[in-house]
Amino acid sequence: MGKILIVDDEIDVCDFVKYFFEERNYRVFTALNSDEALTLLRREKPHIVLLDVRMAGTDGIETLKKIRNFDKKVTVIMVTAVDDHSRMEEAAKLGAARYITKPLVLENLEAVVLSHMKGIGNE
Amino acid sequence: MNKDFDAHNADYKGWFKVQDWLIDKLSRTEGALIPIQPENMKKWPKAEKDYQLFLENASRLMIRFKKPERLIKMIVNIIDEQLGITHTAVLLYKEAGNAFILIDSKGEDGVKIPVGFIRMTFDNPLVKIFNERKNYVISENGVLVYKELSSLLANKETLAKHKDLGGLVELSLRQMDLLKANICLPLYYKKNLIGILILGDKVTKQEFTRQEIGFFMTLANDAAMAISNAQLIQNLQERIEEIKDLYTKEHHVFIHTAVALAAAIDARDPYTHGHTERVTGYCMSVAGELDGIPEAKAYRNFKETLHIAALLHDVGKIGIPDAILNKKAKLTKKEFEKIKEHPTIGAAILTPIKELGDVVKEIKYHQERYDGKGYPEGLKGNQIPLIARIIAVCDTFDAITSDRPYRKRKMTKVAIQELHDGTGSQFDPIAVSAFLLAFEKGKISNKK
């Protein structure tokens, strides 16, 4: 079963995306901040991390750096607002697989995750 | 005043109070509840009159909101509070991004779509159906109901007749799956799709009845109308703000130009250096004492007109030769006649400037005397406009307390006495008493 880690400081987003992917038969973990994300990453070893860029405290880019400190491979998909696009170059350098822009088209969210899961070959 | 008009106004004020209260409540607690009938909460209305009551309550609330986003929050709130639906969401068309954005949502955790999280573009099947109004076959009344779409997809006969439809129906069902939507309703304003209302399942898991769907259509129509109105008001307010900004900017330029012009006049005459600035200062202090009197209120903008008139009252001195203006000896009669032209010259200079329409006559008459012995026209009493009468007092006070080419300045005490003595003859008693009031309050400062 594919495992997804959702990192977003908005609990509504975590809940919604969690149920959304659970309905599609993934195992989903949610983290409201950078520390929770790193703990879950070590413990649950998800295949894909959906990482919000704009978070209070340690933001998405900083969290990505921390993730890369001990996991060079995990697929990270950044979730950005339109105004954060300038930071995506930095995210790409840190090995983010791609980014999707909020507000997002739901089909795209599903398709992006699906395509990366296939690439991982865990489905 | 018309009695009915007053009654109407009072009523209107009452509405405003209620609205303010609601807005306050909503803004203080994000997503606050508005219990309309607490006993009915989370109960699906059963009788026709319950729907009627809900709709009446809802539309009555809707017209009180002037901000579209707040209005939508309220609509989502009352649906969620009173109708027992798993989740409710409203998307609104936003020009920036050319898409429908989720503005507000309520409902069960995980089912509720997060605010600002999703958008629907024009290739979204629901938007397509609503926007292109292909719904005459898919849904005769413009509403998309999951159950109806499913049975349509099973109806091979209809699909055979409309070959392009099958794909769209399938995509729509899939879209409603993604959104966990049971009913989707378009919000139209003048045939334009301005938004979409999304409703989940009934908490009781029962299907919606025809009657209930009809009820939501009415609700959606009311909501669309209210949202459009709120948007129009918001656009209008933004436009008004823009115009105000523009006016303020132009106005600053205008005042600065007047100040610069006044400085230029002062600079020509070393003896009256600072005169305009001081007179303007006195005038504004006097204005503070006269603000409420009817004659002041009759001006479109009393203080501002006085400010500009005071700044420009001596602008006509541009037309007086230096030899006369700076002469140390006593002026000859002919020279004095020339000096007396300055109010008329000033008025003539400023007349072509449309924006100074209110100011011109004040400048023209600032050398008139209350007893009619002044110049240029010998106007008397209230024939002389109020601002000109004020400038006359302040102008004279500064002249007495300043050095002149032909004499030394006098004490303030002496100047005040001269104002007293001139009351009713040279000066308007109202202007003098206002000046003296301001003086006693320490608002007249003539430090050179």
In the DSSP assignment, the letter for residue B47 is: S
Q: Mean of the pLDDT values across residues B113-125?
A: 93
State the smallest CA–CA distance between residue A63 and chain B in angstroms: 21
Domain with residue A89: its CATH number is: 3.40.50.2300
Residue B90 lies inside a defined structural domain of this protein: yes
Cβ separation of A12 and B114 shorter than 8 Å?
Answer: yes
- The yes-or-no verdict on residue B24 having pLDDT over 70 is no
Residue A123 lies inside a defined structural domain of this protein: no
Q: Mean of the pLDDT values across residues B75-95?
A: 90
Which of B216, B238, B260 terminates a domain? The answer is: B238
Q: What is the pLDDT of residue B47?
A: 65
Q: Which of B305, B265, B283 is nearest to B391 (CA)?
A: B283
Q: What is the pLDDT of residue B29?
A: 42
State the CB neighbour count (10 A cutoff) for residue B322: 9
Residues of B in Cβ contact (< 8 Å) with A104: 117-119
State the smallest CA–CA distance between residue A105 and chain B in angstroms: 5
Domain with residue B47: its CATH number is: 3.30.450.40
A16 and B CB contact within 8 Å: yes
When CB atoms are compared, the residue of B111, B112, B119 closest to A104 is B119
Q: What is the pLDDT of residue B27?
A: 45
Which of B238, B260, B277 terminates a domain? The answer is: B238
Radius of gyration for the alpha carbons in chain A, expressed in angstroms and rounded:
13
Task: Report the complex ipTM.
Answer: 0.88
Residue B255 lies inside a defined structural domain of this protein: no
Q: What is the pLDDT of residue B327?
A: 81
Mean residue pLDDT of chain A comes to 92
Cβ separation of B121 and A15 shorter than 8 Å?
Answer: no
Q: What is the pLDDT of residue B346?
A: 92
Residue B208 lies inside a defined structural domain of this protein: yes
Chains A, B: CB pairs < 8 Å: 47
- The yes-or-no verdict on residue B238 having pLDDT over 60 is yes
When CB atoms are compared, the residue of A15, A102, A106 closest to B109 is A15
- Produce one character per residue of B199-210: b if its CB has 16 or more CB atoms within 10 Å, e if not: bbbbeeeeebee
From the DSSP assignment, how many helices (H) and strands (E) are in chain B? 19, 6
When CB atoms are compared, the residue of B97, B112, B120 closest to A16 is B112
With a CB cutoff of 8 Å and minimum separation 6, the contacts of B355 are: B254
Residues B278 and B332 in one domain: yes
When CB atoms are compared, the residue of B101, B114, B175 closest to A13 is B114
State the smallest CA–CA distance between residue A70 and chain B in angstroms: 30
When CB atoms are compared, the residue of A10, A18, A104 closest to B118 is A104
- The yes-or-no verdict on residue A72 having pLDDT over 70 is yes
In the DSSP assignment, the letter for residue B107 is: E
Alpha carbon distance B432, B423 (integer Å): 7
Residue A122 lies inside a defined structural domain of this protein: no
When CB atoms are compared, the residue of A82, A102, A110 closest to B117 is A102
Query: Over the stretch B301-319, which tens digit does the pLDDT of each residue have?
Result: 899 999 999 999 999 988 8
Q: What is the pLDDT of residue B209?
A: 87
β A3-7/A48-52 pair status: parallel
Least confident among A41-55, B101-115, B266-280: B266-280
Q: Among all residues of chain B, which has the CA nearest to that of A23? A: B178
- Residue B144 has φ and ψ, to the nearest 5°, of -105, 115
Cβ separation of B118 and A12 shorter than 8 Å?
Answer: no
Percent of chain A with pLDDT over 90: 84
| Tokens (6 digits) for B5 | 């008009």
Q: What is the pLDDT of residue B39?
A: 44
Cβ separation of B113 and A16 shorter than 8 Å?
Answer: yes
Chain B residues with a Cβ under 8 Å from any Cβ in chain A: 97, 99, 101-102, 109-121, 124, 175, 178-179
Identify from A21, A105, A109, A112 which residue to disrupt to test chain B contact, counting B C-beta atoms within 10 A and taking the largest count. Answer: A105
Q: What is the pLDDT of residue B182?
A: 96
- Edge to edge, the sheet with strand A48-52 lists A27-31, A3-7, A48-52, A75-81, A98-102
Q: What is the pLDDT of residue A66?
A: 95
CA angle centred on B139, ends B134 and B141, rounded to 5°: 105
In the DSSP assignment, the letter for residue B85 is: B
Q: What is the pLDDT of residue B446?
A: 65
When CB atoms are compared, the residue of B114, B120, B179 closest to A10 is B114
Q: Count the alpha carbons within 13 Å of B136 in the hemisphere toward its beta carbon.
A: 4
Q: What is the pLDDT of residue B103?
A: 94
* Helix locations, B29-117, DSSP H: 48-62, 68-82
Residue B171 lies inside a defined structural domain of this protein: yes
8 Å CB contact between B279 and B285: no
Residues B105 and B211 in one domain: yes
Q: What is the pLDDT of residue B134?
A: 62
- The yes-or-no verdict on residue B153 having pLDDT over 80 is yes
Q: What is the pTM of this model?
A: 0.64
pLDDT confidence bin for A121, thresholds 50/70/90: low
Provide the strand spans (E) within B108-227. 119-120, 144-145, 183-189, 192-199
Cβ separation of A15 and B119 shorter than 8 Å?
Answer: no
Alpha carbon distance B403, B360 (integer Å): 28
Q: Among all residues of chain B, which has the CA nearest to that of A110? A: B178
Residues of A in Cβ contact (< 8 Å) with B124: 105
State the CB neighbour count (10 A cutoff) for residue B359: 26
- The yes-or-no verdict on residue B34 having pLDDT over 80 is no
Q: Report A:42-101 residues touching B (Cβ under 8 A).
A: 82
Query: Over the stretch A18-68, which tens digit does the pLDDT of each residue have?
Result: 999 999 999 999 999 999 999 999 999 999 999 999 999 999 999 999 999
pLDDT confidence bin for B61, thresholds 50/70/90: confident
Alpha carbon distance B109, B131 (integer Å): 30
- The yes-or-no verdict on residue B272 having pLDDT over 90 is no
Percent of chain B with pLDDT over 90: 43
Residues B293 and B430 in one domain: yes
Residue B253 lies inside a defined structural domain of this protein: no
Q: Among all residues of chain A, which has the CA nearest to that of B125? A: A107
Residues B280 and B221 in one domain: no
Cβ separation of A19 and B114 shorter than 8 Å?
Answer: no
pLDDT confidence bin for B1, thresholds 50/70/90: very low
State the smallest CA–CA distance between residue B110 and chain A in angstroms: 4
CA angle centred on B228, ends B227 and B229, rounded to 5°: 90
Q: Among all residues of chain A, which has the CA nearest to that of B117? A: A103
Q: Which of B68, B71, B79, B65 is nearest to B36 (CA)?
A: B79
Q: Mean of the pLDDT values across residues B133-149?
A: 79
Q: Is the peptide bond before B385 cis (omega within 30 degrees of 0)?
A: no
For A85, the domain range is 3-117
Is residue A74 classed as helix, strand or coil in its secondary structure?
coil
Q: Which of B315, B321, B410 is nearest to B364 (CA)?
A: B315
Q: What is the pLDDT of residue B5?
A: 37
pLDDT confidence bin for A99, thresholds 50/70/90: very high
Amino acid at B162: H
Residues B226 and B82 in one domain: yes
- The yes-or-no verdict on residue B273 having pLDDT over 80 is no
State the CB neighbour count (10 A cutoff) for residue B245: 10
Query: Over the stretch B175-219, which tens digit does the pLDDT of each residue have?
Result: 999 999 999 999 999 889 999 999 999 988 888 888 888 889 988
Least confident among A42-51, B100-109, B200-209, B269-278: B269-278
Query: Over the stretch B364-390, which tens digit does the pLDDT of each residue have?
Result: 999 999 999 999 999 999 999 999 999
Mean residue pLDDT of chain B comes to 84
Residues B295 and B203 in one domain: no
A15 and B CB contact within 8 Å: yes
Residue B71 to residues B16, B74, B133, Cα–Cα distance (Å): 14, 5, 26
Q: Count the alpha carbons within 13 Å of B139 in the hemisphere toward its beta carbon.
A: 26
- The yes-or-no verdict on residue B405 having pLDDT over 90 is no
Amino acid at B361: K
For B359, the domain range is 269-440
Q: Among all residues of chain B, which has the CA nearest to that of A52? A: B117
When CB atoms are compared, the residue of A15, A82, A103 closest to B102 is A103
- The yes-or-no verdict on residue B43 having pLDDT over 60 is no
Structural domain tally of chain B? Answer: 2
Residues B56 and B140 in one domain: yes
Domain with residue B311: its CATH number is: 1.10.3210.10
Q: Which of B443, B268, B286, B280 is nearest to B363 (CA)?
A: B280
Q: Count the alpha carbons within 13 Å of B420 in the hemisphere toward its beta carbon.
A: 9
Cβ separation of B109 and A106 shorter than 8 Å?
Answer: no
pLDDT confidence bin for B329, thresholds 50/70/90: confident
Residue B85 lies inside a defined structural domain of this protein: yes
In the DSSP assignment, the letter for residue B332 is: P
What are B427's strand-pairing partners?
A: B423
Residues B276 and B221 in one domain: no
Residue B13 lies inside a defined structural domain of this protein: no
State the CB neighbour count (10 A cutoff) for residue B16: 12
- Produce one character per residue of B39-56: b if its CB has 16 or more CB atoms within 10 Å, e if not: ebeeebbeeeebbebbbe
Residue A29 lies inside a defined structural domain of this protein: yes
Residues B159 and B306 in one domain: no
Q: What is the pLDDT of residue B269?
A: 72
Structural domain tally of chain A? Answer: 1
State the smallest CA–CA distance between residue B182 and chain A in angstroms: 16
| Tokens (6 digits) for A68 | 């890369």
Q: What is the pLDDT of residue B354?
A: 82
A111 and B CB contact within 8 Å: no
8 Å CB contact between B90 and B196: yes
β B192-199/B183-189 pair status: antiparallel
Residue B259 to residues B204, B265, B313, Cα–Cα distance (Å): 74, 10, 12
Provide the strand spans (E) within B115-156. 119-120, 144-145
Q: Among all residues of chain B, which has the CA nearest to that of A14? A: B110
Residues of A in Cβ contact (< 8 Å) with B179: 106
Residues B192 and B317 in one domain: no
Residues B305 and B350 in one domain: yes
